[in-house]
Structures are given as C-alpha cells and as structure tokens.
Structure 1
Amino acid sequence: MKIENLSINDIKQGYVFNDELNCYICITCAKTYEVGEIYRIGDRFFEASKAIELHMELEHSDYLEKMINGDSKYNTLTENQKQLFQLFISDLSDKEIAKKVEVSTSTIRHQKFMFREKAKQAKLYLALYESVFEEKSNRGSTIIPIHEHAKMVDERYVVTEEERKHILETSFESMNPLKLKVFSSKEKKKVVILSKILEKFEYGKQYSEKEVNQILKSIYNDFATIRRYLIEYGFMSRNKECTKYWLT
C-alpha cells in the first residue's frame, strides 16, 4: 500500500480500514476481514475488528521488528539505530541494554532523548510540507507521489501532473477500455504507464497468475513483460510459488 495513503496509526497497527470495501486489510499480507462477517480463529469466533487484531498477533507477531529492519526507501535508520530500536522494544532495562551494546547507561538515555527530538522534528516537517506542497501547490507542477516499494528510486520517478497527462495521452490508444498502444523503453514513461495499469487491480485483493494475465492481456498483448515490470518496479508482489499476486 502507498505510504501516503496510510496514517501514522495505520502504520503502527499494521492494518487499515477500507471504507469502500467496508473491511479491514492487513498491510503485510493483504488479508481482508469484512465487517458483518464472523471469523473462526482457533476454537472461537470473532467479528472483523477483533479478527484483524488477532491476525496481527498470531500471523505477524514480528511486525514491529520487520518495520525496524524493512527495506523501504523511507527507512533511513542506521544499523546501530536498528539494533537499539530492537532492544528498546524488549523488556530490558537501560542498564541491561547498555551492557549489551557496551556503552554507558547515560549514553542509552541520551539516545532515547535524541530519538524523541527527531520525532518532534518530523512532526514539524510534516506540518510544513502539507501546508506548502499539498494545500497550496499548483496542480500542474505537483510531483506525483512515489510508491513506497519503488525500486532504484531516481529521476525516473520525478513526474509532474502535466508530464503524466502527456505520457498517458501518447502511450494509450484508449482509456476506457484501457488499451496500451506502446510500452515505452524510456524509464520515466514506464513508471507512468505501469501506475495507470495498476488502477485495474484492487488493493487488499489477492490474484492468481491466471487472473493477472487475463487483466494485463486485455490491456496489452505482451502481458508477460508488463507483469515482469510490475514486480521489478515494486508495484506488485507475489509469493515464492508465483501463485498469488497483490498490490504493494
């Protein structure tokens, strides 16, 4: 899921509520729990809001650790900071943590203070960014957000609304139904084209390879190439067996 569509609370708890689908969606595996349905977990039955909480506890008990060590381009923690965060979520005291990393207890307390100060800086930065770039930006010059799992992030992802509109107009012969005329070899155009094709899929839904192929084949004859780039550019993920696909 795109990080710009997630609140801080969504990221912390590991799941979101989709108003349109009326269901809870796990950020990690895209499993859904629909409101109004009853789900069996072990020997008991639960409604959706409790089921998703238990799903996180049972299936993703290491969610916080994976967040700390995740390969998202937004994770800028150093290896030392990752180690400290993992120790901070344990039941160890400051003295015990200090002994493990071979520093003084005061150093650990100072590091906690610095983390707290960085969090305050992040809040101010976010407030300024939203005020300047989201609320007062000119639509035509607005930079399109980069999806969280983008690979090899560089200038290819710097695309304005005006550029996107032009690329779509010249690359697709039809928008409804969606028909791709040419899959450009230029990296920036690939990103825009793939982003548009992605709209034919639903977040929170898992697709078989056959279903993915059917959707892509209706858009472009060389559906295997499109599927490969959707995975390669991080727009879509799949399991090791290549039997299930979902949007990231």
Structure 2
Amino acid sequence: MELEKLAIEELRNGYRFDRESKRYICNHCSQFYEPGEIYKFGDRLFEASRAVKLHIETEHGGSLKDLLFGESKYNTLTENQKDMIWKIYTGMSDKEIAQELGISPSTVRNQRFTLREKAKQAKLYLAIYEQASERKANPEERIIPVHSSAKMVDDRYVITEKESDKVLRAEFESLEPLKLKRFPGKEKKKIVILRRIAQEFEPGRKYNELQMNDIIKEIFDDYAVIRRYLIEYGFMDRTRDGREYWLK
C-alpha cells in the first residue's frame, strides 16, 4: 500500500476501510474483511469491523510491532530507538528500562524526550507538506507515489504523472484489457509498467504460481520475467517455496 494514501489513524490502526471495494483491509498483509460476513476467531464469531482488529492482534501482534520492526524505507529510527519505543509501549518504567539496558534512568528520560521532540517535528512537517502539496495540481509536476514496500528508493522513482501516462501509452498495446508490447530496459519505465500490472492482482488474496502465471500471460508472454520483477521491486511477495504470492 502506498503510504501517501493512508491517514495517520489508518497507520495507527493497522487497517483501512477501502470505499471502492467496501472492505476492511489489513495494511500489513492485505487480508480483507467484508461487512455483512461473519468471521471465526477461536470459538467466537465476529463481524468484519471487529474481525479485522482481531486479525491485527493475532496475526501481527498489534499494529505497532509491524510498524516499528517491519521493513520500510520510511522507518529511519535506529535499532536503539526502536527498542526504547517498544519497551515504553510494553509498559516498562524508566527504572526497569535502565536496568535492562545498563544505563541510568536519567538517560532513559532524555531519550524519551528526544523521541517526543522527533514526533513533534514530524507532525509539523506533515502539516506543512500536506498543505503545500495540495497546490500541486499540475500532472507535469505531480510525482506518482512510491509503494511503501519498494526495496531501494532512488531517482528511478522520481516519475511525474505525465511521464507515467506517456510510458503506459507507449509500452502497452492496450490498457483494457491490459496488453504489454515489450518490457523495456530503462528502470523508470519498468517501475511504471510493474506498478500498473500489480493493479491486476487483488489485495488480500493469495495466488499460487500457476494462478500468477495465468494472469501475467494474458498481459505479456514472458510471464517469468514479469513475475520475478514484481517480487524484486517489492510490488509483491511470496513464500520461500514459491507456493503463494500476494500484493504487498
């Protein structure tokens, strides 16, 4: 999921309600829950809005754990800072944290103060940036979002909406149904193409290799190359044995 599309509350909760599909979707694994359906957890049954919260707790150990320790290029906290935040979250006192880390309670308090100031800075920056970016209505300047699971972010991802549209028109024979003419060598073009192909897969659904291949074959003959690059660029993930694939 592209981080820009998630509100702060949705990040904190670990899930979002997608108005288009009318589903509650887990931010961490894309598992979805549909209103009107009943889901079983243990010996009890729950409706969708409660089920997605239980999913976050049982499958991910709560939202914070995945946010804090998950692989994200946007998480710039040091390992020590992550450890400190987790200990604070679990309810440890300054004295207990100090004893476990072999530091003084005053050092713990200073680190807590630093983390709080970092949060204030982030909040102010977000308010400033969101207001400024709302003015960028021109597609020639508006940069397309970078998917949050991208493996390595550099200038390859500096792609405007206009540039993206140009690549899509040039490299696809058809956008409906999706038919790719060729898979180019240029990195920016690859990212645009893979981003569009990834939209053909359903969030929260697990695909076996045969299902993956069948979907990609309809788009491009060399399905193995596309499948490999979807994983390599972080648009999709898979189990180690390659039996299951899913959108990240």
**What TM-score does the superposition give when structure 1 sets the normalisation length?**
0.93
Q: Which runs of 5+ in 1 are unaligned?
A: none
Q: Is the 8 A contact 2:32 2:203 kept in 1?
A: no
Identity of counterpart residues, as a percentage? Answer: 54
**Cross-structure match for 1:181:** 181
Give deviations 1:58-94, integer Å, cap 9, x for gaps: 2222642332222200010112111211211223211
Q: Give the counterpart letter for 2:180 in structure 1.
A: L
Aligned counterparts of 2:13 and 2:182: Cα–Cα separation in 1: 41
**Cross-structure match for 1:109:** 109
**Cross-structure match for 1:43:** 43
Give deviations 1:126-169, integer Å, cap 9, x for gaps: 11111112333432111111111111211111111222122222
Q: Give the counterpart letter for 1:58 in structure 2.
A: T
Q: Give the counterpart letter for 2:246 in structure 1.
A: W
**Cross-structure match for 1:168:** 168
Q: What RMSD over aligned residues (CA atoms) do the two structures have, in Å?
A: 1.6
Superposition map of 1:39-118 within 5 A: 39-61=39-61, 63-118=63-118
Shift in Å, 1:11: 1.6
**Cross-structure match for 1:145:** 145
Q: Give the counterpart letter for 2:223 in structure 1.
A: F
Shift in Å, 1:231: 0.4
**Cross-structure match for 1:25:** 25
Q: Give the counterpart letter for 1:132 in structure 2.
A: A
Give deviations 1:180-215, integer Å, cap 9, x for gaps: 111001111111111111221222332232222111
**Cross-structure match for 1:124:** 124
Aligned counterparts of 1:215 and 1:244: Cα–Cα separation in 2: 14
**Cross-structure match for 1:224:** 224
Report the more deviating stretch, 114-123 or 18-27: 18-27
Report the more deviating stretch, 197-206 or 222-231: 197-206
Q: Give the counterpart letter for 2:85 in structure 1.
A: F
**Cross-structure match for 1:193:** 193
Aligned counterparts of 1:57 and 1:78: Cα–Cα separation in 2: 25
Q: Which runs of 5+ in 2 are unaligned?
A: none
1:8 is the counterpart of 2:8 = yes
Report the more deviating stretch, 69-78 or 106-115: 106-115
**What TM-score does the superposition give when structure 2 sets the normalisation length?**
0.93
- Secondary structure, counterpart of 1:173 in structure 2: strand
- Secondary structure, counterpart of 2:92 in structure 1: coil
- Secondary structure, counterpart of 1:141 in structure 2: coil
Q: Is the 8 A contact 2:209 2:242 kept in 1?
A: yes
Q: Is the 8 A contact 1:30 1:206 kept in 2?
A: no
Q: What is the number of residues matched between the two proteins?
A: 248
**Cross-structure match for 1:234:** 234
